[in-house]
Amino acid sequence: MGLLRSVKLKSASFLTVTSVALSALATARVEAQSADSPVQLETYTVFSTRVALQEPVSTFAAPVSALVYEPQVDVQARSFAEGQADVTIRGGTFENTGFTVGAVPIYDPQTGHYSAELPFSSYMLGAPEIRVAGENAATGFNATAGGVAYAWRPIRTGGAVSAGVGGDELVRGEVYTGFLAGQKIGGFSIGADASIASAQGDGTRKWKDTNGVARDSGFEFQRVSGRVQVANAVSQTDFAVGYQDKDFGWPNLYAARPTTALRYEREELQTKLFVLNNHTELGADGDFIQGGAYYRGHRDHYSIPQLGANSYHQTVVRGAAFDGRQSITSGTALRYASGVISDDLDSNALTFGRFMSRTQLYGSLAAEQTVALNENRDLVLSAGTRYDDSDRDSSEFSPIASVELRQEKAALRRLYLSYDESTQLPTYTALNGAPTGLFGGNRNLPRATAQNLELGAEVTLDAWTIQSAVFYRQDDNLLDYIFDPTGALGTSRTAAAVELDTYGVEAFVRYSQARFDLLAGYTYLQKADNYQAPRNGSFYALNYAEHRLTLGGVARLGAGFELRVDNEFRRQAFNALRREGSDNVLSAAGLFYQVPGVKGLTLNVQVENVWDTAFQEVPLVPSSGRSWSTGASYVW
């Protein structure tokens, strides 16, 4: 199929939508504030530069925590985000969002539901970078909508401890400590850090199931992670180990049907991850090379006690990857990336497919030519291709191209037009599920492809920073899970390959002053689909917000007090499976007090879902209720 389906584009009204959006408090600004500011939070507490609240209410901070109010990401949670959440970008699904740590792509071959299970402390990882369009196509893996990338933070001597209690018997805490040796060895510094975190509670949902048995959404989480780092002025090598154990329950967690009352579902997840990564800067022109390898083991026990259903899954993933940039001449450079990922599945339920192991290989190469228009203005032309292959499916070549105007001394810093293609293979839940039952599978699902056209700009003006983009993505053979109201499928949902056109506008704005920061983002999305059966309900691909506005702020009130607020306003697209309305306002607020005379000690009170809304982020899955906590943190 061609990129542009002109008939659909002619009817698109999104080009007339104006959007104002925002990002948040840049890390550089946080570090640059006056050291004697009575409300200055230490650098260690900044896990994301694009949201106001840095820690969740219901548990300890996880990498996914910083994405809940991220302007470019829509987190669709079951219970709360740290329990089980689907991370989507630009109207995609949880299956076509990728995660990268350093050079290596981390993914779960069973289901994209578990891709965000990264068992590392947020103190160890940098702020999440959202990669879309050509950047995702060139460096991502098995993701067609976008990706979330994390870098490893440099280790310093110091640490942090946080603890809190709250409603529904909540108890949570984390201890992090880092040590950097005072003497260097061969010009390299040696550092190590470690963290242990735990949280438990009864959850915000209490109900009786269809058998009259009282249930609650209790949870118990533990995480242990550690790292050794060797670094000098241009190179950083990290070896990290993480382990996470999660046990939680929720009504209609996965197997909801429109005609079925709330059923208690429970999940036990254990994730271990070993990562080795090196990043080396090669010069002042932005040249670098990074590479790494990882081993990931993940175990899942999913059960529905009322039905006597028990599914056990275990996956192992081994991978290695590298990427970088190398200048050839003063105006010419090459961007490259490559990796190999091998996985194995052991399951008592996902046994109806054609295979239980798979190896995937990818590589990309692009030439970048910079043409100097004048002293402060450059035109950058880039073109290349990406190659994806698997021992179980056919291979695919995908083009990547862009033209970009860069300006140094002008309000318009960047203007670009890009086109890229990317591909993705389905996961084992879709490939190996039984044709009938709770989750219908399809062993013949093909490789999905996406074509993306994007026009974007970046503006910096005094205290304002603005980013915006208009994009159109065409998905072919996209993996979705659908429900047939006629009952012909005989399941709660069935994997299907569908076609979608997604077009939208997104914009981000940051405004920073000495006493406050304003954070906002806006996204407008529209989709055109050609599902074979229009009456089929879509749980994921057609579960998106037509309008989504994030609005946050940090107010430094004086006398040691700081107020942080994040909000999400959304108008959801129609979905035949949805209950509890299509509009929602989700708000979180926190009041922080830095104790005078005790540097690094901060007391806090936080509330999530302030308005106690019942909006279903995933159709038929009850929302989390209002939650609150009070606690303290100490940073040294």
pLDDT confidence tier of residue 199, bands split at 50, 70 and 90 = very high
Q: What is the pLDDT of residue 28?
A: 31
Question: Quick check: 376 and 407 in contact, CB under 8 A?
Answer: yes
pLDDT confidence tier of residue 420, bands split at 50, 70 and 90 = very high
Q: Is residue 180 part of a domain?
A: no
Q: Give residue 491's identity as a one-letter amino acid code.
A: T
Q: Is residue 76 part of a domain?
A: yes
Give the number of C-alpha atoms closer than 13 A to the C-alpha of residue 419, restricted to the C-beta side: 7
Q: Is residue 195 part of a domain?
A: no
Q: How far apart are CA 459 and CA 509, in angstroms?
A: 9
Determine what percent of the chain falls in helix, strand and coil, rounding each to the nearest 5.
Answer: 5, 55, 35
Q: Is residue 142 part of a domain?
A: yes
Q: Is residue 185 part of a domain?
A: no
Average pLDDT in the chain: 89
- Condensed to tens digits (0 to 9), the pLDDT of residues 252-271 reads 999 888 877 788 999 999 99
Q: How far apart are CA 506 and CA 353, in angstroms?
A: 39
- Residue of 231, 232, 204, 208 whose CA lies nearest to 218: 204
- Condensed to tens digits (0 to 9), the pLDDT of residues 67-92 reads 999 999 999 998 899 999 899 999 99
Q: Who has greater pLDDT, 441 or 537?
A: 441
Q: How far apart are CA 156 and CA 105, in angstroms?
A: 26
Q: What is the pLDDT of residue 587?
A: 97
- Condensed to tens digits (0 to 9), the pLDDT of residues 114-150 reads 999 999 999 999 999 999 989 999 999 999 999 999 9
**Mean of the pLDDT values across residues 8-12?**
32
Q: How many domains does the chain have?
A: 1
Q: How far apart are CA 161 and CA 147, in angstroms?
A: 30
Q: Is residue 177 part of a domain?
A: no
Q: How far apart are CA 105 and CA 322, in angstroms?
A: 10
- Condensed to tens digits (0 to 9), the pLDDT of residues 480-534 reads 998 887 766 667 889 999 999 999 999 999 998 889 999 999 999 999 987 656 6
Q: Is residue 514 part of a domain?
A: yes
Contacts 24+ apart (CB under 8 A), 492-495: 492/254, 492/255, 492/256, 492/257, 492/438, 492/439, 493/255, 493/439, 493/440, 493/539, 494/439, 494/440, 494/441, 494/442, 495/426, 495/429, 495/430, 495/431, 495/433, 495/439, 495/440, 495/441, 495/442, 495/445
Lowest mean pLDDT among 214-218, 320-324, 369-373: 214-218
pLDDT confidence tier of residue 629, bands split at 50, 70 and 90 = very high
- Condensed to tens digits (0 to 9), the pLDDT of residues 562-609 reads 999 999 999 999 988 888 778 999 999 999 999 999 999 999 999 999
Question: Is the confidence at residue 443, as pLDDT, over 80?
Answer: yes
Query: Considering just the CA atoms, what is the radius of gyration of the chain in Å?
Result: 24
* CATH assignment at residue 463: 2.40.170.20
Q: Is residue 490 part of a domain?
A: yes
DSSP conformation class of 9: H
Q: Who has greater pLDDT, 225 or 45?
A: 225
Q: What is the pLDDT of residue 533?
A: 63
The model's pTM = 0.90
Q: How many CB atoms lie within 10 A of CB 598?
A: 9
Q: Give residue 330's identity as a one-letter amino acid code.
A: S
For 584, the domain range is 6-170+200-635
- Condensed to tens digits (0 to 9), the pLDDT of residues 283-321 reads 878 999 999 999 999 999 999 988 889 999 999 999 999
What is the biggest distance separating any 2 CA atoms in the chain, rounded to whole angstroms?
A: 75
